[in-house]
Structures are given as C-alpha cells and as structure tokens.
Structure 1
Amino acid sequence: MKKYLLLLALSFTIFKLSAQQKGSSADSLLNALNAANKPEPAHVAIFSSSRLILAETNETVKKGNLNFLVIHRFGDVGGPFGGGQTLYGLDNSSDIYIDFEYGLGEKWDVQFGRSKYQQLIELGTKYTLINQDADGSPFAVSLLGKFGLKPYKNDGSFNKYSDRFAYVAQAIIGHKFSKSFSLQITPTLVSSNAPQPVVTGNEKTFFSLGAAARLKVTKRMGIVVDYAHSFSSFRDNPPLGYQFYDPLGVGIEVETGGHVFTINFSNAKAISPSNYLADTRSNWGKGEFRLGFTISRIFDLSHRNKNNY
C-alpha cells in the first residue's frame, strides 16, 4: 500500500513540475512576442523646420519629401547705408538664398542651394545619427556637410579654379527640454581654398561654435535666437580697416500648417555658413542689422499622408 501511495505522490510531483515548466515556457514565449511587437520609441521633433535663422537644425527631410526654402536678407536698417533713404533696408537685399532639400531616407537628405552673395552654388547632405526619443537618447545628433562653389565671381580673388571651393562640416546636437523650449549647439569647421576677405593672414580653416534656441509662446508661434562665434586669431586681431563681429539673429517662428515662416533681424549679410561665419562685419550697435525671413514648404512626393517632422 505504501508503495502505491509513494508512486502516486511521485507522479503528482512530476506532473506539477512539468506544468510549471510549461507555464514558464509559455510565459517566456509571450514575453518575447510582446517585446517583439512593442513599438519603437517615438522620434521627438526638437524643431519645426530644418532651418532656424542662421543655423540648420538636426531635423532632416523624410524619405520622398521635398523641402523648398526661400531665405531673404534685406539691407541695413540703420547706419550709413540704412535709414529712410533705403526705407530702412527694404529697398536693398544683402542675400537671397533658394534651397531644395530632398529626403533619400528617413534620416538622410541631400541639398542644393543658390545664394546671391558671391553667386555661391552649394551642395550639401545631412544625416541623423541619433534621434531624441522618450525611452532612449535624451538628445539628437546630426552631421551636416556642405560644398560651395563660386563659379561667376571674378575680381582677382581666384588664381586658379580650385580657389573657388569652400567647405563646411558641422555636428548639430539638439535637445527638447519641454513642449516649449528647445536648444542646440553646432560645432563647425569652415575651410576655403581662397578665404574671404582676401587679406594677408586670413586662415583657410577655422573652427566655430554656434548655439540656437526656440521658446514657444503659443502652440504655433515661438521666439528664436541664433548665435555663432568663430575661433580665429585673424578675426580676433584683424588688420587695420577691418572689424569682425559674431553673427547674431533674433526672430519669431510661425507654423501655418504646410509652411514654417520665420521673420528675423540679423547682423549677418550672408546666409551660407561658409560666408557668414567667415565674413560678418556688421555691428548691431551701429544699426547695421537687417530684416530677413525664411519660408519653408514641404512637398510629399511619395504621396504618403504623414507628418514630416
């Protein structure tokens, strides 16, 4: 009798352990399936557009989309070239920049731009290494590269054709602190085969560090500040007759559904970083700043009805 009771107890124990193991296996499989089906963390859009006032943002144009930008700088509001005689700069334009940005991938776009300033033609590309998201990275990192060519300007500045080339390499590091406040810094390397202005001692290559921020005051409107400083011994100690200033822009950004519109004031005449980082000689204190605007419009060439940023 004891033998049969012992056999029954042993059988029950084995059945119980087997059931527990099956339950554990089922739980593990269920957990694995849930993990596989778990959606990836959502990309946090730090800024509303790929451009601020001076700098680009870490936002790239999504695959199959085309971003068309018109960027304009008028003339000086004050100073010897401003005032009522030029309607406070509205009669003049220091630079006009037309740009096309096309998304080759969800994190990669290519750019083509044309600037009035020194008739610059510019090719560029931007790639996002890291996106800010709720469950992962607290910041976003994008890399930007630009190649510039001045094919028409001929004032004796270029001894050979390669002197017309200029290059920009930039890292864009951004963070959205809240629904209202976003900040980015932009370490930048600028190089030119024939640096402007053409003055003895001007470096072909120098480093710059920029910072930009946006503070939203309503759901669709924010205040934007954009600043950069160039670390250059030539610009810190310029030759007689030259004085360089750090480019600074302040403005208001407005989102209007399909457009992002920025109206701003800046002491930078040029729009391309290879120009405004190298050669900003306008002084805010003397009224040598100008009204400008940027209009950004996204076209979905892939016919996907999705948000672009």
Structure 2
Amino acid sequence: MKKIIIVLTFLCLAAGLKAQQKPTTPSKSDSKQTSADSLLNAMSTDDKHQDVLAAFKATRLIFSPTTETVKKKNLNFLVIHRFGDMATSEAGAKTLYGLDRVQDVYIGFEYGITDNLNVDFGRSTIGQLIELGLKYAVLHQTVDNSSPVAITLVGDYGVRPYGDFQSYAERNSFLGQAIISRKFSSKFSFQVAPIYVYSNTPLVYDENNVAIPDIPSSAKGFFALSGAARYKITTHMSIVADYEHSFSSYRTGANGFSDPLGFGIEVETGGHVFTLNITNANSISQINTLSSTRQDFGRGQFRLGFTISRMFDFNHGDKAKY
C-alpha cells in the first residue's frame, strides 16, 4: 500500500510539472477575424482559465480533509460516527456487527470567512478532544492546466479539557498539513497530503479507548502521509478511499499499530453529502487516527461508519457557490 501511495504521489506531481504548449503563430486567415470572432475567442480563453470545480463533493472524506472549502457565509455542519468491531469473537450478531457499540462520535462546524478561508470547530468522543482549525485554499486547479493542481493548507489545534494532566500545556496537540489534489477527469480525483503531528503529551488509545500508559517522549512529534481518492459512478454517487501512514519509530507494526484505511460510498442529495464507510480506525480526528490506530482488518477489527455533511447558506437568498 505504501508503494501505491508513493506511485500515485509521483503521478500527481508529474501532472503538475507538465510543460504548457506555446501558442502557434497566427496565420493570415486568422488575422482576418471579425469582431464577433474575437469576442468569442476571448470568451473561450476566459473559460479555459476558470477553476476546475468540485474535485471532491465534500470538505472531508473518511479521515482526510479535502482541498474543497466552504464558501463565504456558508456553514457546514458535520456529524460523524464510528461503530464497533464487526468480525471479532466479541462482535458478530451479538452486537449487530458493531452497531451496538459506538466507538467515536464527532460533531463539527466549518464556516466560510471567505471563499478560500474557513474556520473549523469540532469535538470527538475519544479523548474528549476539542479541535479548532483554519483551512486556506492557496491554489485552485484550472481548466487549461495553467494550475494543474489545487493546494490547500490546514492547521489544527487540539485540546483535551479533561483528564489527569499536570498543566494546560500538556493537554495540547497540533497538526499541520498541505493537501495537493488533482481532478484527472470528470470521474476521478486524487489527493495526497504531507502531515506533521505534535502532542505535548503523546496519547495512544487501546481497543476500548483507554489511554495506554508510559508512551515514550520521543513519540511526541512525527510526520505522516495521507492519500485519498474519489471515483464518480453516477451523477450523485461516488466511491471513495482514504489511507494514512505515520512515519514514527514508535507507531510501527511491531508495537501493535496499523495504518488507517477506509473505503466508502458517497451520496450527494442537494444540501447534504452522506458517506457510508468501512474502516479499521476507531477514531475520527486525524490527531487520533494518526497517533492511535491499533485495529487491523486481518483480526476482524473493522467497523461501519458514516458522515453527514449539511450545508447552510447565509448569503441572504443568494445562490450558494458550494
């Protein structure tokens, strides 16, 4: 899986480095255009420089935020659930394949200060983590490939207001990432994101969401890489996939950790985007998924989850741009 992510990353970057063709010298017949022809050509050129819209239909997939932003004076309300294990000896029919056991719940809000700048707020059940974040779209993909990729920066601050900590600083976690996406066709979009996570108190949660003691201080900060894709199968339905890998000397398979991996179906219904997914990760917040995922598909530790995204427009009756 790591090799696949790396290959796709190079494909995305290679598309970004594609040389643009120089315009050819106009012929005599071209120089005799009418004023109407000139106007049509100018309109065509403007269209080619337009942004590519909706590489992704939602601002986040299964774990990862996307390069999409909430437009100015729009509010995105998010409800995200992760249920219990579906196929372990403790699960199966007796827990209705995990539906009786809710592992994590996230309630969040994303507000568009401008079309390119969002402020985000949310809370997760695991660790009682409260997050405040900023999301800024610095570059948009264009139709003519003058900008072959979209780039969005995300910064998150997380705090655990409860628990046994010696100081306020010990409660804090931070995450920063640069998301690079490309819409390769009307059906397929892909993104990759280098990530850095830092926690003043490194926390890892077990299968019962209880913090594991004695985490080495060297595990405080680490880099990670995520890759996500969307493939459109009908006008309002897509298949999505999401993967994360932590480059941490502590968070390895030998120490019982697994890479978060998820697959899902995304359905757009007007103002709603609904995603139904299956993943091995208990948690929802990227701070937690990258730091704490210990569940493995091979042990039956995968679960059903869903995301409901509802957009509200406060532009006084103007048609939403999102």
Is the partner of 1:222 in helix, strand or coil?
strand
Is contact 2:137–2:153 with CA below 8 Å preserved after alignment?
yes
Q: Which residue in the other structure is 2:229 paired with?
A: 213
Is contact 1:72–1:292 with CA below 8 Å preserved after alignment?
yes
Query: What TM-score, normalized by structure 1, do the two folds share?
Result: 0.84
1:186 Cα deviation after fit: 1.1
Q: Which residue in the other structure is 1:146 paired with?
A: 156
Number of positions where the alignment pairs a residue of Structure 1 with one of Structure 2 = 272
Q: Which residue in the other structure is 1:13 paired with?
A: none
Q: Which residue in the other structure is 1:296 paired with?
A: 309
Is the partner of 1:138 in helix, strand or coil?
coil
1:286, 1:237 → 2: CA distance?
A: 13
1:106 Cα deviation after fit: 0.9
1:85 Cα deviation after fit: 1.9
1:237 Cα deviation after fit: 6.5
Is the partner of 1:153 in helix, strand or coil?
coil
Of 220, 239, 248, the residue aligned with 1:204 is: 220
Letter in structure 1 aligned against 2:172: F
Q: Which residue in the other structure is 2:50 paired with?
A: 41
Q: For residues 138-217 of structure 1, what are the structure 2 equivalents within 5 Å?
A: 138-154=148-164, 158-197=165-204, 198-201=213-216, 202-217=218-233
Is contact 2:51–2:140 with CA below 8 Å preserved after alignment?
no
Matched, 1:253 2:260: no
Q: For residues 1-309 of structure 1, what are the structure 2 equivalents within 5 Å?
A: 38=46, 41-135=50-144, 136-154=146-164, 158-197=165-204, 198-201=213-216, 202-236=218-252, 238=254, 242-309=255-322
1:45 Cα deviation after fit: 1.7
1:129, 1:139 → 2: CA distance?
A: 11
Letter in structure 2 aligned against 1:260: V
1:304 Cα deviation after fit: 4.6
Letter in structure 2 aligned against 1:152: Y
Is contact 2:252–2:258 with CA below 8 Å preserved after alignment?
no
Structure 2: runs of 5 or more not aligned: 1-34, 205-212
Is contact 1:62–1:308 with CA below 8 Å preserved after alignment?
yes
Is contact 1:44–1:134 with CA below 8 Å preserved after alignment?
no
Q: Deviations over 1:47-89 (max 9, x none)?
A: 0010101101000100000000101001111214421221111
1:177, 1:303 → 2: CA distance?
A: 35
2:159, 2:90 → 1: CA distance?
A: 29
Which structure has the larger Rg?
1
Query: What TM-score, normalized by structure 2, do the two folds share?
Result: 0.80
Q: Deviations over 1:164-216 (max 9, x none)?
A: 10000011100000111000001100000000124343511000001000111
Structure 1: runs of 5 or more not aligned: 1-26
